[in-house]
Amino acid sequence: MERLQKVIAHAGIASRRKAEELILEGRVKVNGSVVKELGRKVTSSDRIEVDGVQIEGEEPVYFLFYKPRGVISSVQDDKGRKVVTDFFETIKERIYPVGRLDYDTSGLLLLTNDGEFANLLMHPSNEIDKVYVAKTKGIPTREKLTSLSRGIVLEDGKTAPAKTKLLSVDKKKDSAIVEITIHEGRNRQVRRMFEAIGHPVLKLKRERYGFLTLNGLRTGEIRELTHHEVKQLRVLAMKKS
């Protein structure tokens, strides 16, 4: 289910703010009844009319994007920085990212116009694995990596157990490459976890989301998910939720 104003915006009728005004002015009907509450949620089976004209919903689309560093995981930025949707200028649907990757983090990001699908994947009970590769300042000891595997206390609470693997070390540069697998989606979580053990992240990349990888893509490239992949993601999320 999605908020009514969001559905109207995605249909291209108006911006979300303008859609809210249309609702408050009594110009929107759901299944024949006028709705003036902004919190109203609707499904794809509901009939929505604006000024007596039924809106046509967009066909759902699903994309996998290899996000470069230095790009905002948003549809717009008030500072004029590059955003992920700048890479989708030929796509007519109003897509948005499923979750976020930090400005300085590269890697796998999903985008869609299917709010129900996005909410399912981002639900707090969702435990889909997200695999990152981090270059750290300093070389973490086995004990420090074990503390991440057990869960570590951050300012917003203790993290769920992570999986870690030391991939390589560079003693001359005093750095290491560590693979870490988490299923939570807190803000800057991986970076904060490594900072908590005294090894700040110098570079970070998300390499896998569930069963999806970046295979065949270069930074900044996009591919559409197959119907089977979308179905697999739904099944995976519903198993975990």
91-101 per-position pLDDT tens digit: 988 899 999 99
> What's the average model confidence in pLDDT over 68-85?
93
Domain spans, the chain: 2-54, 62-125+214-240, 130-209
**Model confidence at 241: pLDDT above 60:** no
Fold of domain 62-125+214-240: Alpha-Beta Plaits (3.30.70)
The answer to whether 107 and 132 are in contact (CB under 8 A) is: yes
Nearest to 88 by CA among 106, 78, 76, 99: 76
CATH code, 130-209:
3.30.70.1560
How far is it, in rounded angstroms, from Cα 172 to Cα 151? 30
Q: For residue 123, what are its two tokens?
A: 């639900």
Pairing of β 48-50 and β 28-30:
antiparallel
Token pair in block for residue 105: 């983090």
- When mean pLDDT is compared across 12-21, 99-108, 184-193, 203-212, the lowest value belongs to 12-21
Question: Is the pLDDT at 45 greater than 90, yes or no?
Answer: no
Q: What pLDDT was estimated at residue 34?
A: 95
Mean pLDDT of the chain: 92
User: Are 95 and 111 contacting, i.e. CB atoms less than 8 angstroms apart?
Assistant: yes
Instruction: Give percent of the chain with pLDDT exceeding 90.
Output: 71
**Residue numbers annotated as active site:** 102
* Vertex 235: Cα angle to 232 and 237 (nearest 5): 105
The per-residue pLDDT for 6 is 84
Identify the weakest region by mean pLDDT among 121-130, 173-182, 198-207: 121-130
User: Distance (Å, rounded) from C-alpha 111 to C-alpha 116?
Assistant: 13
Q: Do domains 2-54 and 62-125+214-240 have the same CATH topology?
A: no
Query: Is residue 108 very low, low, confident or very high in pLDDT (cuts 50, 70, 90)?
Result: very high
Whether the pLDDT of residue 159 is over 90: the answer is yes
Structure confidence at residue 240 (pLDDT): 59
pLDDT over 60 at 61, yes or no: yes
pLDDT value at residue 163: 97
Closest to 95 in 3D by CA, of 83, 112, 119 = 112
Q: Is 90 exceeded by the pLDDT of residue 8?
A: no
CA 163 – CA 131 distance, rounded (Å): 9
- Chain centroid to CA 136: 24
Nearest Cα to Cα of residue 74 among 90, 97, 95, 91: 97
Least confident of 34-43, 131-140, 152-161: 34-43
- Using the Cα atoms of residue 170, residue 173, residue 174 and residue 178 in order, give the sign of their dihedral: negative
User: What is d(CA 123, CA 3) in angstroms, rounded to the nearest whole number?
Assistant: 16
Q: Tell me what pLDDT residue 180 has.
A: 98
Identify the CATH assignment for 2-54 out of 3.90.1170.50, 1.10.3210.10, 3.10.290.10, 1.10.645.10: 3.10.290.10
SS3 annotation, 6-70: HHHHHCCCCCHHHHHHHHHCCCEEECCEECCCCCCEECCCCCEEECCEECCCCCCCEEEEEECCC
Say whether 130 sits in a helix, a strand or coil. Answer: strand
CB-side neighbour CA atoms (13 Å) of 202: 12
- 110 touches 93 (CB < 8 A): no
